[in-house]
Chains A and B, each alone.
Chain A
Amino acid sequence: MAPSHGDGPFAHRQHALLLKRVLFFGGKGGVGKTTCASAVALAASREGKRVLLVSTDPAHSTSDIFGTPFEADEREIHPRLYGLEVDANLEARRYIDNAKAGIARMFSPAVAKEAGRQIELASSMPGVEEVALFDRIGDLIVDRFDAYDLLIFDTAPTGHTLRLLRMPELVSAWITALSKRRRALLALNQDIDQVRLAPEAINPDEDPILKTLDARREKLEQVRARLMQHNFTGFVLVVVPERLPIEETVRAAAILAESNVNVCEIVVNRVLPEDVDGGFYRSRRAQEQVYIDEIKRRFAMYPLAWVPQLPTDVHGLENLERVSAVLMGVPSS
């Protein structure tokens, strides 16, 4: 049986990150988002939490780290640590198949066949995968929230993720506008009915279009609300002490703040350890110090975590544990 919360070895000082219910890990490509997300997931599971680690990266890097494939359905990867990989392509497919099934139910097979062919084309439109991906993330946040103590999303590189987080705002505004128009239309139709004394208008409460639109909007709003719940949801930005990642992270933090998403920690990954020697490393460290100072200055308002460069790549649990210990503030053994 899984121990209840707080029985873990670090219970006396549970890390702030582990108090959240939903964590997103973001950052420029290749800075170690997946490593950090996996490390925190591992730490949380060690503390007795049920954790779902969701990889949205098509590069399968999570599977690499744990040495076991992440599949489309959630699966226990490690005790109490469940993993799944969201395949945007597959999600788009699933969504489109649903839409096709809807058409097939309502129209003759010939029509449905023709429609199906064209919907196929629509599925390759840019943006469809993004929406499908977001949809899945939203489903997980809303529907699996109660099944786990912590949901961790290892996201794709920054720009993409930020668009993703702002999407509910945009799409729900759009759908709101559509639903308002539809309502006005139906109201007008009812006015016409009154004049003609021959009812033919659709009752707004029974209009399938309005119903579908409103259901969509409601769900988007639900996801949006949860994303902005600061006590539940946090965004961890991962950065390495180099110029471009710093710039990108500053931008990301600003956009997240603007969207009212809580940035709860900045992880500075791959910091050169102090005990490296040789002229080359001394020079690199001096250079790095400039960036480290810059990070301290520009991210002064966020909690910072420092993860040293490891002698080998993070593959397998052993190295992951080291990162995990560092992130949780436990001196590595």
Chain B
Amino acid sequence: MDWKELKQNFGDFVHGYFVSEYERKLREQFVDLNDLFMLQCFMELVGLPNPAAIYLLDVYPFFLEEFHTWHRRMGMDRSPIGSMPCC
């Protein structure tokens, strides 16, 4: 391994380290934001009124996948509401 290659590898390592750190932060933020979004879409779940509940029926089908990852992360093995029958 020559000096140039070593330098390149070291550079990649440092780059990767910081970028992954950055990505982790972004992903964390994404998850938080997504949780908030989901909460606002499914407020009935926590017993709060949701003024747009009926309009959200429109978008329920698109949510199925995201909803699945969300309820798994929230520690619910199975879908807590039947109208989102992901599992």
Contact = CB atoms under 8 A, between A and B. Distances in A.
Interface of A: 92, 95-96, 99, 102-103, 105-107, 111, 114-115, 117-119, 121-122, 125, 127-128, 131-132, 135, 167, 170-171, 174-175, 177-178, 181-182, 184-185, 188-189, 191-192, 195-196, 208-209, 212-213, 216
Contact of B51 (A106, A170, A181, A188): A170
Looking at chain B's contact residues, is the secondary structure mostly helix, strand, loop, or mixed?
helix
Contacts of A118: 81-83, 85
Contacts of A115: 60, 82-85
Contact of B22 (A107, A181, A195, A212): A195
Nearest to A101: B61
B33 A188 contact: yes
A119 B53 CA distance: 12
A119 B61 CA distance: 12
A259 to B, nearest CB: 16
With most chain A CB atoms within 10 A of its CB, the pick from B19, B54, B60 is B54
B33 A125 contact: no
A171 B51 contact: yes
19 contacts: A95-B57, A102-B61, A103-B60, A106-B61, A107-B64, A115-B82, A115-B84, A115-B85, A118-B82, A122-B83, A127-B53, A128-B54, A131-B53, A170-B51, A192-B30, A195-B19, A195-B22, A195-B23, A196-B23
A196 B82 CA distance: 35
Nearest to B83: A118
B58 A216 contact: yes
Contact of B36 (A167, A181, A192, A208): A181
A215 to B, nearest CB: 9
B30 A189 contact: yes
Using C-beta atoms within 8 Å of the partner chain, give the interface range for chain B.
20 to 34
Contacts of A209: 59, 62-63
Contacts of B61: 102-103, 105-107
B54 A127 contact: yes
B85 A111 contact: yes
B57 A175 contact: no
Interface pairs A-B: 6 shortest CB-CB: A118-B82, A118-B83, A99-B57, A114-B85, A131-B54, A181-B37
A129 B54 CA distance: 9
B52 to A, nearest CB: 5
Nearest to A172: B52
A122 B57 contact: yes
B26 interface: yes
With most chain A CB atoms within 10 A of its CB, the pick from B50, B52, B60 is B52
A185 B34 contact: yes
Contacts of B63: 209
A10 B38 CA distance: 58
Contacts of B82: 114-115, 117-118, 121
A188 B29 contact: yes
Interface string B15-51: 0000100110011011001101100110010000111
A119 B41 CA distance: 15
A177 B27 CA distance: 21
Contact of A174 (B33, B44, B52, B58): B52
A121 to B, nearest CB: 8
A122 B56 CA distance: 11
B57 A181 contact: no
A135 B52 CA distance: 12
A196 B84 CA distance: 31
A172 B29 CA distance: 26
B61 to A, nearest CB: 5
Given A182-B37, A188-B30, A96 B52 contact: no
